[in-house]
Amino acid sequence: MTLHAQYLKAYDEQLRTDAETPSALSVARLGPLRLATFAGGLGFITYQNLKGVAAADMPGLVGGALAHYRADAGIEKVEWKTRLHDAAPGLGQALLAQGFVPEAAESIMVGPVAGLCVPVSPPDGVTLRKVTQEAQVRAMSAMVDEAFGERTSIRIADSLLARLDRRDGMELWVAEIDGLMVSAGRLEPVPDSDFAGIWGGATLPAYRGRGIYRALTAARARSAQALGKTLIHSDSTEDSRPILERCGLLQVSTTVPYHWQR
């Protein structure tokens, strides 16, 4: 088995289970689907695989999943996470027919934690640290929204604070220059697995290309290694994918999120 195949097998077996939604408020089942509800009015649909679901059955499966969330007035947005290595005939058409809109594809990256743990010093004037206090978390969340060109979401900040209160293992990391947050990202150790995830990596446009994200990634990897994790996974944009590849991570597949908005 190639290294690529080993990593993809570990991803499918260890992450596409209950381990994928440890911070969900609730999880319902619909056939092979896991219908998770998160704080902040977010629904999230995932599954280990769709083997045995014929193309003719896909519209009913998608419609049933969306009906579950339509019935909950607190749900504002639903994400259906597709992976392009899955056998899922007719899924894209069924999602579009129900009003889901595809967003930009991201690379599913997997590799050894050790590859990210090489000594990397932050650039001069840059400080790396974890944040836990409410004001800090809200400032971090607003900065990430700005970096992605989105409006500030109070709900996302509320969701992060709720997770910190539940102590589910998530760590929030920021890079600062003279007290200004310029980059941030999450570390999410996955219980009962070899994995930790690095998520939400964002750097303000004016501060990109200086090695700040690389240093922040190394800090998160060292924290994951201290927790006994041996593998890292991430869904990466084209900005972060080359950095992770240079550290030994491989693109094992591609994910395309489809979103439905109430």
Whether 221 and 171 have beta carbons less than 8 Å apart is answered as: no
List of residues 6+ apart from 257 with CB closer than 8 A: 79, 80, 81, 82, 102, 103, 106
Give Cα 30 to chain centroid, integer Å: 22
Sign (positive or negative) of CA dihedral 39, 181, 250, 115: negative
What is the residue-wise DSSP string for 168-197?
-S-EEEEEEETTEEEEEEEEEEPTTSSEEE
CA atoms within 13 A on the CB side of 30: 18
- Which candidate, 15, 17, 74, places its Cα nearest to that of 43? 74
Statement: residue 80 has pLDDT above 90: yes
Among 26-30, 181-185, 234-238, the minimum mean pLDDT is found in 234-238
Segment 45-57, tens digit of pLDDT: 999 999 989 999 9
> For residue 225, is pLDDT > 90?
yes
Q: Collapsing DSSP states into helix, strand and coil, what is residue 94? A: helix
Terminus-to-terminus CA distance in the chain, angstroms?
Answer: 44
Over the stretch 13-53, which tens digit does the pLDDT of each residue have?
A: 999 988 888 788 899 999 999 999 988 889 999 999 999 89
Model pLDDT, residue 251: 96
Cβ atoms of residues 105 and 255 within 8 Å: yes
Supply the pLDDT for residue 19: 84
CA distances from 213 to 55, 186, 209, 219 (A): 42, 12, 8, 10
- Residue 220 sits at the vertex; the CA angle it makes with 215 and 224, to the nearest 5 degrees, is 145
Task: Write out pLDDT tens, residues 145-161.
Answer: 999 888 888 888 988 99
Structure tokens that stand for 259 in this block: 């979103």
* Token code pair at residue 88: 């899922």
Mean pLDDT for 218-230 is 95
Give the pLDDT score at 92: 96
Neighbours of 194 (CB within 10 A): 16
User: What's the predicted TM-score (pTM) here?
Assistant: 0.87
Residue with tokens 């889901």, as numbered in its chain: 100
Distance CA 143, CA 166 (A): 23
Domain ranges of the chain: 16-108, 111-253
For residue 200, the model assigns a pLDDT of 86
What is the β-pairing status of strands 77-83 and 42-47?
Answer: parallel
Pinpoint the alpha helices (H) of 87-233: 91-97, 113-116, 134-147, 154-166, 212-226
Q: What is the identity of the amino acid at 43?
A: G
Q: What 3-state DSSP class applies to 61?
A: helix
pLDDT score for 161: 92
Name the superfamily (CATH) of residues 111-253.
Gcn5-related N-acetyltransferase (GNAT) (3.40.630.30)
